[in-house]
């Protein structure tokens, strides 16, 4: 079994991502630019098959080694985009990360106007499992809206909302947290986070979203992490979310 795993072939761009060197899209750019060599030969096709842990991969004359896995949480401030770089020059979430970290990519997305818990990692397979709708990882949000809320609104959010394009949106759970004189905060739980899903649901109901804060991903809570700050997941946090997605524990020496 161990031999089968070691000799498995994957595309070159995917191999660089799996090794924690960069994202698959970034890897594809490096490969097409002729900056990547396999066993001494330059390859410019991102789908070139390689054998992980056997073939010698070099980028810009430096050998690529598997990075230690790193799992981070960030309290994303409003106004940052969730991408490594932005064509319009907007600030990104990477401005919150310190120097000396290996490449990490976001697990899912938060749009520019949204805040709160964002996971980042160089473990692309782990990120994919959390983002995969079939693993049913809850994403919990606190949402401030421009009107008062009641049980009728809670129920409306958990019923099918069909968009003009035919897409069906629905919250797994919704409840009122607190009310003011003119607005309210709700907790909304999604099982499958589609693009701008919560904002589109409230827009369909004719309600303006004032703030949108993600406070949990599965069992991982944002807690008291200050806005704009980042920290590593504790071993307990990592173990609890691994259990929720059915991931196998990594061997000792892998960082967790």
Nearby residues of 99 by Cβ (< 8 Å), 6 or more positions away = none
Which residue in the list 45, 60, 86, 111 is annotated as catalytic?
Answer: 111
**Residue 125: is it exposed, middle or buried by C-beta count within 10 angstroms (0-12/13-18/19+)?**
exposed
CA atoms within 13 A on the CB side of 46: 14
List strand residue ranges (DSSP E) for 180-227, in order: 184-190, 209-217, 220-221
Burial class from Cβ neighbours inside 10 Å (0-12, 13-18, 19+) for residue 241 reads: buried
What contacts 78, CB < 8 A, 6 or more positions away?
112, 113, 114, 115, 211
**Both tokens assigned to 212:** 């949108």
* Whether residue 45 lies in the annotated active site: no
Residues noted as catalytic: 111
């Amino acid at each position: 079994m161990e031999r089968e795993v070691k000799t498995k072939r994957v595309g070159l761009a995917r191999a660089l991502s799996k090794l924690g060197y960069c994202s698959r899209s970034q890897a594809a750019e490096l490969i097409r630019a002729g900056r990547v060599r396999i066993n001494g030969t330059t390859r410019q096709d991102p789908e070139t098959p390689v054998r992980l842990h056997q073939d010698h991969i070099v980028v810009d004359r430096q050998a690529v080694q598997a990075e230690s896995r790193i799992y981070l949480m960030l309290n994303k401030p409003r106004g940052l985009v969730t991408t490594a770089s932005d064509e319009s020059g907007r600030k990104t979430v990477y401005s919150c990360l310190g120097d000396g970290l290996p490449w990490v990519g976001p697990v899912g997305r938060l749009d520019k106007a949204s805040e709160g818990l964002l996971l980042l990692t160089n473990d692309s397979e782990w990120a994919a499992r959390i983002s995969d709708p079939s693993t049913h990882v809850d994403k919990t949000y606190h949402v401030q809206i421009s009107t008062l809320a009641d049980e009728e609104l809670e129920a409306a959010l958990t019923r099918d909302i069909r968009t003009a394009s035919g897409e069906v949106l629905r919250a797994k759970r919704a409840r009122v947290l607190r009310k003011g004189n003119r607005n309210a905060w709700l907790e909304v739980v999604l099982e499958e986070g589609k693009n701008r899903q919560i904002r589109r649901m409230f827009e369909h109901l004719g309600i303006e979203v004032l703030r949108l804060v993600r406070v949990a991903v599965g069992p991982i809570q944002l807690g008291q992490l200050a806005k704009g700050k980042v920290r590593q997941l504790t071993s307990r946090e990592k173990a609890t979310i691994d259990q929720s997605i059915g991931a196998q524990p990594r061997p000792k020496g892998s960082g967790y």
